[in-house]
Structure 1
Amino acid sequence: MSPRQIDQSTLVERENVLLDAAMLLIKQQGVEGLTMDKLVKQVSFSKGTIYNHFTCKEDLMLGLCNRGMGLLGALFTRAGKFEGTTRERIIAIHFAYLLYSRLYPMMFMLVISAKSPGVTEKASTRNREMHLQLEASLTTGIINIICQALTEGECNNPNNLAPEQIAFANWSSAFGTIALLSKDFEQCGIRAQMQSEQALLANVNLMLDGLQWQPLFSEFDYTQTLERLRCEVFAPEIALLAAQEQALQC
């Protein structure tokens, strides 16, 4: 008798159940507490079935990272379609990243562990290839905005940086700002009075002014850009965050 064939939708649903269970374990016990044996105890699938989806803990972690990148990519796509200058669209990308970190804080921080060689070297070829595809998709949209700004003369780029260098500077600035303002980091004096949106906007504008990306911060009210993003692009996410905050206060 031939083995029973499992349709693709069932495989995807099963994988999502495993990823949800892994996220719960990380929430309860941290990344160090995530093991394949503990995952087996959390779900109704057999150990063999689980290993058919994820070959090891590291493969599971990269799978979680890939899930997060897919969610982030959807936010970036909407941000990239924002009707504004190229500088405003880059700010929209930063704002989308901030929303992602608030909506999915564990997946935002998990990228540090998932990108380490100890994880990627042990992960399956399938998840490594998917990771590269998702990463390319994320960066392509940003680089396209940068190239448009350079071509149209909106970004003077006085140091003649390559678009990829500018994209990396944006990513590292955004990640560092958001991570250091995260509740997961110990409070320190220099950030005590900072609000994440204002701090992120200040940092990105400082960098974009250095690139002479028009219009300069002194020439345009970018707080209005943030307000438009809240209302026109990311209203559902803003409402969800407000509901979560209200639930925590009850």
Structure 2
Amino acid sequence: MSPRTISRNQLLQREQELIEIARTLVENQCLTTLTIDKLVAASPYSKGTIYKHFLSKEDLLLAICNTCMQEIKALFIRALKFDGSSREKMVAVIVSYIIWAKLHPSQLFAVLSAHSPSVAARSSDENNAIHQQCEAELMGLMNVEIGKAIESGDFDIPAEMTFEQVTFALWSSTWGSLALIMSKGNSIKLQPMILERESFTNTRLILDGFNWRPLSTDWDYHKTIKKIAEDIFQPEIKALEDKGTPFIFN
């Protein structure tokens, strides 16, 4: 009897099923303990079948990261539909990033770990290409909005800077807040820090430093944040409440 063949769509569906099982393992257990053997035990598929999809644990990790980045991109797109100024749209993007991180705290570190050169080296060409494409698409979304802000007169990009540098300043600041505060454990210095407050403080400092208008002295961005949550992200805000980790507005 010849072996059963499955279509490309079926392969992709099975691969996504395995990624979702692995994501659940990461959330319920620990990123550092994720292995192919654990995925085999948690799934209805054999190790041989799983290795048809992922070359290694690192390849699986990169696949998780790529899926997460696609989710983040979808949230960014929703955020940028907010009916407000260009700076309010930037704030909306930060809101969406915080929401995703709070919904998937352990996977935040999966995304971070996937940037390691060792992960790329042990992953498939396909997953590496997808990862690069995801990064380019996220950067592209932000670059378009920076261009619109310049056209509207809200923002004058410094002559020595590129769009990518502006995006990196916002990304690295928010990422740093998320990574440090969400992994603070028993740190005495980090214990008083509030994820939302510190993230928005950093965003305010960067955007005011860029003279991105309206400045925080000229606009109530606390009201903007609440309106973003009410108008765009109410389902996610409700999910955070149900999870016991509500979005903190003050």
Same fold (TM over 0.5): yes
1:99 aligns with 2:99: yes
Q: Number of residues paired by the alignment?
A: 246
Deviation at 1:107, TM superposition (A): 1.5
Residue 42 of structure 2 is matched in structure 1 by: 42
Q: Is the 8 A contact 1:209 1:216 kept in 2?
A: yes
Deviation at 1:29, TM superposition (A): 4.7
Deviation at 1:244, TM superposition (A): 1.1
- Cα-to-partner distance string for 1:91-137 (whole Å, 9 max, x where unaligned): 11111100010111122111221110000111001111111111111
Residue 198 of structure 2 is matched in structure 1 by: 199
Q: What amino acid does structure 1 have at the position aligned with 2:204? A: N
Q: Is the 8 A contact 1:86 1:149 kept in 2?
A: yes
Q: Find the aligned partners of 1:226 and 1:44 in 2 and give their Cα distance.
A: 43
Residue 152 of structure 2 is matched in structure 1 by: 152
Deviation at 1:186, TM superposition (A): 2.6
Q: Is the 8 A contact 1:25 1:33 kept in 2?
A: no
Ranges in structure 1 where 5+ consecutive residues have no aligned partner: none
Deviation at 1:185, TM superposition (A): 1.7
Deviation at 1:24, TM superposition (A): 3.7
Q: Find the aligned partners of 1:245 and 1:179 in 2 and give their Cα distance.
A: 20
Deviation at 1:189, TM superposition (A): 4.6
TM normalised by structure 2 equals 0.91
Change (3 A) 1:33 1:154: same
Deviation at 1:194, TM superposition (A): 3.5
Deviation at 1:138, TM superposition (A): 1.0
Change (3 A) 1:40 1:210: same
Change (3 A) 1:189 1:45: closer
- Cα-to-partner distance string for 1:13-39 (whole Å, 9 max, x where unaligned): 321332233234434552332222332
Change (3 A) 1:246 1:70: closer
Q: Find the aligned partners of 2:86 and 2:117 in 1 and give their Cα distance.
A: 35
Residue 109 of structure 1 is matched in structure 2 by: 109
Q: What amino acid does structure 1 have at the position aligned with 2:230? A: C
Q: Find the aligned partners of 2:216 and 2:155 in 1 and give their Cα distance.
A: 13
Q: What amino acid does structure 1 have at the position aligned with 2:155? A: C
Residue 171 of structure 1 is matched in structure 2 by: 171
Percent sequence identity is 38
Deviation at 1:2, TM superposition (A): 5.7
Residue 186 of structure 1 is matched in structure 2 by: 185
> What pairs up with 1:55-66 in 2 under 5 angstroms?
55-66=55-66
1:69 aligns with 2:69: yes
Q: Find the aligned partners of 2:59 and 2:210 in 1 and give their Cα distance.
A: 39
Residue 162 of structure 1 is matched in structure 2 by: 162
Find the residue that maps to 1:218 and give its secondary structure: coil
Q: Find the aligned partners of 1:189 and 1:44 in 2 and give their Cα distance.
A: 44
Change (3 A) 1:131 1:246: closer
Q: Is the 8 A contact 1:158 1:212 kept in 2?
A: no
Residue 234 of structure 2 is matched in structure 1 by: 235
What is the alpha-carbon root mean square deviation over aligned residues? 2.0
Residue 89 of structure 2 is matched in structure 1 by: 89
Deviation at 1:181, TM superposition (A): 1.9
Q: Find the aligned partners of 1:219 and 1:159 in 2 and give their Cα distance.
A: 25
Q: What amino acid does structure 2 have at the position aligned with 1:223? A: H
Q: Find the aligned partners of 2:166 and 2:58 in 1 and give their Cα distance.
A: 31
Q: Find the aligned partners of 1:231 and 1:55 in 2 and give their Cα distance.
A: 43
Change (3 A) 1:44 1:112: same
Q: Is the 8 A contact 1:70 1:134 kept in 2?
A: yes
Residue 137 of structure 2 is matched in structure 1 by: 137
Residue 211 of structure 2 is matched in structure 1 by: 212
Residue 120 of structure 1 is matched in structure 2 by: 120
27-36 vs 220-229, greater mean Cα deviation: 27-36
Find the residue that maps to 1:82 and give its secondary structure: coil
Q: Find the aligned partners of 2:210 and 2:181 in 1 and give their Cα distance.
A: 25
1:244 aligns with 2:235: no
